Structure 1
Amino acid sequence: MAPVLELAVQDVAGARIARRAGATRVELCTALGATGGLTPSIGMIEAVVAQGIAVHPLIRCRPGGFAYDADEIAVMARDIRAAVGAGASGVVVGALTPGMAVDRDALARLLDGIDPYAVEVTFHRAMDVVDDRATALDALARSGIIRVLTSGGAPRCIDGLDALSAMVAHAHGRIQVMAGGGIRVDDIAAVAGTGVDAVHLSGRRTVADSGGPGGGTGDYDAVDETLAIAAAVALGI
């Protein structure tokens, strides 16, 4: 079976493009280019849910590493409950121990009270800094996580094809492997050839729009519809 397409989006317009392109779902976040993605607002989640596509918000309270203290875990647990209450059909989470292993205790606290049969849980690219990907896959499968997002530990998926193939083989259907990380349209055939269950990309373009002295960099990212459609075509959607 060919992989499905997931697009990373940051706004309503991006979700509309994803739906038109035939994406199965969107990962919704904010500050993607600057930080790798942070938790979107509840208002944004509600607005994107209203576009008629499955919405999986990223739940990440700050940039940086993935070992969190008790206060950070508590905040993200609140964000997860709020996102599900706003209509999200899944969430994207991740937590590691200081030793770079999957923090199963933190995951249990994050997902406390969330019905795993009603809400799909994806483990994000914290997977790409774990000390042992095979052990991490085993831990996540036992934790009821439905999929993992990974570049195979490489800066870009095209450089991690062997690792992606090995992860798919090790997962052996117990957990989905979704390839994501610097994927270009020309890379999709090779990435899909590893046997991954899904391909995740942002297909971003940069919009120059100055906010003045207090408005930050003056640029922001938006989904490029031409790239999104080309990715879907490359996957046979």
Structure 2
Amino acid sequence: MNTAAETPAPGRLAVEIVAQDLDGVRIALAEGADRVELCTALVTGGLTPSAALIESAAGLARDAGREGFVHVLIRSRPGDFVYSPEELELMRRDAAHAIRLGASGAVVGALDRSGAIDLPAVAAFRDAAGAAEVTFHRALDLSSDPVAALADLAELGVARVLTSGGAARVSEGMPVLRALAAAGTGVQIMAGGGATPGDAAALRAVGADALHLSARRTLMGGPTGPGGGDSSYDATDAGIVRAAVAAARA
């Protein structure tokens, strides 16, 4: 069973930044974020990063004396969250490998064909993560009864959930976020999905524990050759991270 996540001080939101590269991790560290969700291909919703990126990001956090900083998204492909047995086994192994490489937590999610949370899959991910924290990601937003789903996840030892309250943006999901926070399961409620620093005050008011945001800006790179894709790419914006941390601690 995973160790429960440390609860933020009353009135203070933890801040989690999505990082797709080492520069993003460095910025999050420098600007005082509480942790990063490390992934790649965020334009698809995020995929599992490479082993080298995980190991390097964990090394940066360790050198900065920041235990618990790097949490790795475990998602083998874009698309829905209903996975084949082969995909689930691959993700279970990815979760275990991420922790061996130095990650402090795994960010997971899986649904069954009815749209309910795939509890056996989550249990397997939790076991693979060992004593590290497990976050259940926004697959929760597809649940018809998120409060009941939250109770099931609590039984499995999940430390926190990432949710927009079932809405396109957290600003539109406040009633569900309030209900999740009021459920008293001990699972941290981390609000994410179109979130901005300006959402911090409202999230504190509904009882959320953390603010999750990509804090990104788009950069234009040089020309790419045939098959190289779009020359633009996302980068972590230090100013947005700084504003989110300030708003969360106001």
Into which bin does the TM-score normalised by the smaller protein fall? over 0.9
Counterpart among 97, 112, 115 of residue 100 in structure 1: 115
User: Percent identity among equivalent residues?
Assistant: 48
Q: CA RMSD in A?
A: 1.2
1:146 equivalent in structure 2: 159
Decide whether aligned partners of structure 1 residues 113 and 206 sit closer, same or farther in structure 2, where only a CA change above 3 A counts.
closer
Q: Taking CA–CA contacts closer than 8 Å with sequence separation of 6 or more, which of the two structures ends up with the larger relative contact order?
A: 2
Work out the number of aligned pairs and report it. Answer: 233
Counterpart among 30, 50, 54 of residue 45 in structure 1: 54
Could you give the per-residue CA deviations for residues 72-103 of structure 1, whole angstroms, max 9, x where no partner exists? Answer: 00100111111011000100000111111111
Instruction: Work out whether residues 197 and 248 of structure 2, in 8 Å CA contact, stay in contact via their aligned partners in 1.
Output: no
Counterpart among 212, 234, 242 of residue 221 in structure 1: 234
Instruction: Work out whether residues 93 and 128 of structure 2, in 8 Å CA contact, stay in contact via their aligned partners in 1.
Output: no
Structure 2 unaligned segments of length 5 or more: list them: 1-9
Alignment of 1:120-139 (within 5 A): 120-139=133-152
1:211 and 2:224 correspond: yes
Counterpart among 76, 98, 116 of residue 61 in structure 1: 76
1:175 equivalent in structure 2: 187
Instruction: Work out whether residues 74 and 110 of structure 1, in 8 Å CA contact, stay in contact via their aligned partners in 2.
Output: no
Counterpart among 96, 101, 107 of residue 86 in structure 1: 101
TM-score normalized with structure 2 length: 0.90
Q: State the shift of 1:113 in Å.
A: 4.2
2:88 equivalent in structure 1: 73
User: After TM superposition, which residue ranges in structure 1, 4 or more long, deviate above 4 angstroms?
Assistant: none
Decide whether aligned partners of structure 1 residues 226 and 68 sit closer, same or farther in structure 2, where only a CA change above 3 A counts.
same
Q: State the shift of 1:192 in Å.
A: 2.5
Could you give the per-residue CA deviations for residues 95-126 of structure 1, whole angstroms, max 9, x where no partner exists? Answer: 111111111111122333432xx300000000
1:3 equivalent in structure 2: 13
Q: State the shift of 1:211 in Å.
A: 2.3
Instruction: Work out whether residues 5 and 25 of structure 1, in 8 Å CA contact, stay in contact via their aligned partners in 2.
Output: yes
Q: State the shift of 1:186 in Å.
A: 1.9
1:13 equivalent in structure 2: 23
Structure 1 unaligned segments of length 5 or more: list them: none
1:30 and 2:45 correspond: no
**Residue type of the alignment partner of 1:120:** E
- Residue 112 of structure 1 aligns to a residue in which SS? helix
**Residue type of the alignment partner of 1:68:** Y
TM-score normalized with structure 1 length: 0.95
Instruction: Work out whether residues 42 and 86 of structure 1, in 8 Å CA contact, stay in contact via their aligned partners in 2.
Output: yes
1:200 and 2:215 correspond: no
2:245 equivalent in structure 1: 232
Give me the whole-angstrom Cα distance separating, in 2, the residues matched to 1:199 and 1:45: 22
**Residue type of the alignment partner of 2:30:** R
- Residue 183 of structure 1 aligns to a residue in which SS? coil
Instruction: Work out whether residues 14 and 209 of structure 2, in 8 Å CA contact, stay in contact via their aligned partners in 1.
Output: yes
- Residue 37 of structure 2 aligns to a residue in which SS? strand
Give me the whole-angstrom Cα distance separating, in 1, the residues matched to 2:225 and 2:28: 31
Decide whether aligned partners of structure 1 residues 225 and 109 sit closer, same or farther in structure 2, where only a CA change above 3 A counts.
same
